[in-house]
Structure 1
Amino acid sequence: MADAELEQIRKARLEQLKAQGSGAGAQGGQGGAGGQGQAEQKQQQEAEARQSILNQILHPEAADRLGRIRLVKEQRATDVENRLIMLARTGQLRQKVTEAQLKELLNAVADTKEEEKIVVNRRKVWDDDDDDDLLDL
């Protein structure tokens, strides 16, 4: 059953690559306005292909959790999606990803990301003795 799903994913990816190849040749002879429309259409097709793949490899609970994560941290959700799609394409996923497995993957992504650090360097101000003279009056 998993082999059939992976074969479906591979076929979708092959069709996507074929569409990209034929779209590149047709796009060269058109003006700027037509190119923008095609670019938007291409992005929409890619988004639909990603969503299709994710629907095939995620349990509904896991997909729901990933959607909630996207609301808070879009980049982290995209990173997890990319990793899941890569695992599916390489045949490393044997079954649909559960919510527990998604949590583990999220923790792995969180651990690999280095948190940004804010370093504040304060400059030392030299003490000015002239100000002390005003107090002696």
Structure 2
Amino acid sequence: MADAELDAIRKARLEQLKAAQGGGGGSGLGKAASRGGGDQAQQRQQQEAEQRQSMLNQILQPEAADRLGRIRLVKEQRATEVENRLIALAQSGQLRAKVTEEQLKELLNAVSDNKEEEKIVVSRRKGWADDDDDDLLDL
């Protein structure tokens, strides 16, 4: 069963690479592509997104997919990074079974550990009613 899933992932990736290189069957759309380039690009992006989602459905258990969807609502960039890492692991053959929610949590922690923590620096200015200014009023 795992071999069939890996074959499906490899086929989807191969199709994705062909589409990215423009290797899809040339159906004489040269002139139409120059006029409707935006539509074609949008269609290609949609197709790539569908392939990506299909691969993720094969890689993730339903609970893990739900968690990743919730993460996407909050931090889209982090979810994309995790998806990219999962797809890379699957393509390299390092995933033996579907990723569980616990494994996804570990991967999220690994991704967040690699990123530098954002620091918020608060610099406070002295207000107009500081105690230091009281002695100036007593003159």
User: Which TM-score applies when normalising by structure 1?
Assistant: 0.79
Alignment partner, residue 6 of structure 2 = 6
Within 2, Cα distance between the matches of 1:103 and 1:5? Answer: 23
RMSD: 2.5
Look up the SS of the partner of 1:70 in the other structure.
helix
Identity of aligned residues (%): 79
Query: Larger deviation: 109-118 or 41-50?
Result: 109-118
Q: Does 1:95 align with 2:97?
A: yes
Alignment partner, residue 41 of structure 1 = 43
Within 2, Cα distance between the matches of 1:19 and 1:104? Answer: 33
Within 2, Cα distance between the matches of 1:2 and 1:95? Answer: 7
C-alpha displacement of 1:106: 0.5
Alignment partner, residue 126 of structure 1 = none
Q: What is the aligned residue count?
A: 125
8 Å contact kept, 1:58–1:98: yes
8 Å contact kept, 1:70–1:76: yes
C-alpha displacement of 1:93: 0.2
8 Å contact kept, 1:59–1:98: yes
C-alpha displacement of 1:19: 2.9
User: Which TM-score applies when normalising by structure 2?
Assistant: 0.78
Structure 1: gaps (5+ residues): 123-134
C-alpha displacement of 1:16: 2.2
C-alpha displacement of 1:15: 1.9
